[in-house]
Amino acid sequence: MSKTSTSTLQLAPVYRETFDRLFSGEKDNTWLPMRRSAMQSFESIGLPGPRTEAWRYTNLAKVSAMPFVPAPSTEKLQALELEKLEAVRLDGIRLVFENGRYRESLSSLQSLPIGAIVGSLARHHDHPKVKEYLQQNLPLENEAFVALNTAFMPDGAFVFIPRGVQIEQPIHLVFVNDARQEASVAFPRNLIIAEESSSVVVVESWHSLPGSQSGFTNAVTEAFTGRNAKLELVKLQLEDRSALHIGHTQATVQRDATFNINTITLGGALVRNNLGILLSEEHATAHLFGLYLLAGNQHVDNHTLVDHAVPHGLSNELYKGVLDQQSEGVFSGKILVRKDAQKTNAYQSNKNILLSDDAVMNAKPQLEIFADDVKCSHGATTGQLDEEALFYLRSRGIGEAGARAFLNIAFAADVINNIPLESLREQLMQRIEKKLLDSAP
């Protein structure tokens, strides 16, 4: 990563000045040493420049052009606005965050098993598990936006499921970025811990208020799946078409544990999803699913890294995209199989449909294998709709526009069907069907 990009030289003083203004008065805050270290890392790294390979296809000019204003604690979001804003509704626990800060009055907490915690990360900053796990495996040294989030994070969600506890209802984390007054940056930070033999489903949904200016969300989620545990994470990006979103999810999976993640991107002007998964102990499993439906000038970039560090690991990855008009998509997925990770099974697939001659997709699947007894495959395809399938539908009386929409809906359902909650699958498919049918010529 470039350390001398032009944007870095121009913006670094602004970030430092803002950091000193916000935190110079803090003396006893638990997070202050971590913030200072992260700020130093960010100043050393700088924002990615055009020559940074990992950001080759994503232009950060919109981010660099924004004035750096950390989102204030406004508490202006009203229950009625939230009700209109929410695209999906789930029965269960719901935590609401406005500009990265917990809004208790808008949240809905239910009774939890003894020892389980679902709440504000800031309010639990002294909890032993937060001290033990926060910032444990994140790459500060080469991820500028992770460092920036760590330096400025105000709050976020803390989910702790103790050993042997099964949470039956989903935990819904609702994040709303309110930039109606001025363009600003929100830094939500989430920590999810599923201890040995526990299980939980967590849904993150990301929103921006209609009429907002170009709000920017720089989010980080850390997830730990203990031995024989199961953690399922669903990320729904439903922000306004002007929103900027750069997120990083880092997961560690221990022996006999399963971590599943579904990343569904329907909104946002510029979205970057970084996903890193470490299979740290034998017989760990990870399933990665992603779907992006793009139109207009949307730009969505998915970067994934699955690190098979030990033997007998399994990872399965499927990302799909439908791109229309002048939209742009990026998929860069890497499977790393280390020398000792024998008997690894790893599969990766990226499939894309272009509905317009002006839509662009850049796909880069990668395998890096240092073990010799493994089963690994990867591939990427980009093309138009299947003409034979289209002909079949039209021959049965379906108009061309409807036939094209139906094929795209079936294409998307291949990913949506992996979401563990039936009600959420149904709501998302209704939203996707409407979007595809409305855009059909």
d(CA 279, CA 142): 20
Give the type of residue at 119: G
State phi, psi for 45 to the nearest 5 degrees: -80, -50
**Three-class secondary structure of residue 253 per DSSP:** strand
Digit-by-digit pLDDT tens for the chain (441 residues) are 334 444 444 555 889 999 999 998 777 678 999 999 999 999 998 889 888 899 999 999 888 888 888 988 878 888 888 888 777 888 889 999 999 999 999 999 888 999 999 999 999 999 999 999 999 888 778 899 999 999 999 999 999 999 999 999 999 999 999 888 788 899 999 999 999 999 999 999 999 986 657 789 999 999 999 999 999 999 999 998 889 999 999 999 999 999 999 999 999 999 999 999 999 999 999 999 999 999 999 999 999 999 999 999 999 999 999 999 999 999 999 999 999 999 999 999 999 999 999 999 999 999 999 999 999 999 999 999 888 888 888 888 888 888 888 899 999 999 999 999 999 999 999 999 888 877 666
Q: 157-161 and 117-120: which strand pairing?
A: antiparallel
The reported pLDDT for the residue numbered 28 is 63
The reported pLDDT for the residue numbered 270 is 96
d(CA 189, CA 120): 10
Q: 360-369 and 328-337: which strand pairing?
A: parallel
d(CA 112, CA 155): 21
Q: Which residue has the tokens 């039209």?
A: 394
Whole-structure pTM value:
0.94
The reported pLDDT for the residue numbered 441 is 63
d(CA 289, CA 428): 15
The reported pLDDT for the residue numbered 4 is 40
Element (H, E) at 19: helix 6-23
Tens-place pLDDT, residues 262-297: 999 999 999 999 999 999 999 999 999 999 999 999
DSSP 8-state symbol, 104? G
Tens-place pLDDT, residues 109-152: 888 999 999 999 999 999 999 999 999 888 778 899 999 999 99
Task: Give the sign of the dihedral formed by CA 146, CA 150, CA 155, CA 161.
Answer: positive
